Chains A and B, each alone.
Chain A
């Protein structure tokens, strides 16, 4: 990923460090205070769920490493998503960190997926039962906490 001059990556780190503020950043509107009630639906360009990739709250997303990012073709929020998703993040985490509603994150993300700029992995589902190996890994992981 390259060229992110349009926004300040420090902003995200700042937000991350404040993430224990329940509800997210309410006491620190930050630089992009631009009418939170309207703005999300504007940045999703009025699209609804119809043309979005199926994404779950816990679909895990990562920015594609080698993709060339054409900044002008993307929304600033999408660049923030790509920045945040250098490490794998769930849709819910992206929503919480960037303070954008889940439904809007899904629209922005599915556009990034369609452009090949990000990759997503669907979560385990009840319909595909979790294997014993995975459950054992979960038990071990909890034990290690």
Chain B
């Protein structure tokens, strides 16, 4: 447990924090899912991120770094007096990959929300977490009016390994969002046991 920053001494204990990322395309239901389980209404903050940009007419292959301000929505679940879990909704588009890098640092795992009307919007996030070895689950948000797919159909469409859980959910419902979180944390726990 990392607590090098300060010595609580006789003070009240300061809880330690964990984070889970919630990735998905625009409108896939990231903030909805965060809000369904968060004990606070989702908050929004802005973080300045460093972005290595590769220009199309860059002849020498030199990378230039620029900074971008990105809004992040997040929620909080107090686990106990010693532990707080934060859920960060992260923009799913591929052009935000630089941000996932910073955010996934130290993350317990990730939830990729799949919108079956636009499944391709979560390809980039799936690729990223697979490459990074960040444990993740795919939550298929069942929108009203959208065709219902079986988890195996989604698994095949996203070329997921059999070990990657695919959960159907309604991101608006707390019980449903809880099941998504539980499947992720269970998966992380399996890896620890193994």
Residues of A within 8 A of B (CB): 19-20, 22-24, 53-62, 64-66, 88, 90, 92-93, 95-97, 101-103, 113, 119-132, 134-143, 145
Contact = CB atoms under 8 A, between A and B. Distances in A.
B80 interface: yes
Contacts of A132: 189, 192-193
Contacts of A145: 37, 77, 174, 178
A68 B39 CA distance: 32
Given A57-B45, A103-B47, A119-B11, 14 more contacts: A92-B72, A102-B45, A119-B5, A119-B8, A121-B2, A121-B16, A123-B18, A123-B19, A123-B106, A131-B192, A138-B185, A142-B181, A142-B185, A145-B174
Interface in B19-49: 19, 31, 37, 40-48
18 contacts: A19-B41, A19-B43, A57-B88, A58-B86, A64-B11, A96-B44, A102-B45, A113-B6, A119-B11, A120-B5, A130-B192, A138-B79, A138-B85, A139-B186, A141-B77, A142-B85, A143-B182, A145-B77
B2 A125 contact: yes
Q: Give the interface residue-count category, chain B.
A: 35 or more
B92 to A, nearest CB: 17
A59 B193 CA distance: 27
B84 interface: yes
Interface in B89-134: 105-108
A123 B126 CA distance: 25
B188 interface: yes
Contacts of B88: 57, 92
**Nearest 6 A-B pairs (CB), nearest first?**
A141-B79, A20-B41, A96-B43, A58-B17, A121-B14, A122-B2
B26 to A, nearest CB: 14
A139 B105 contact: no
Contacts of A96: 43-45, 74
Which residue, A53, A62, A123, has most C-beta atoms of chain B within 10 A?
A: A123
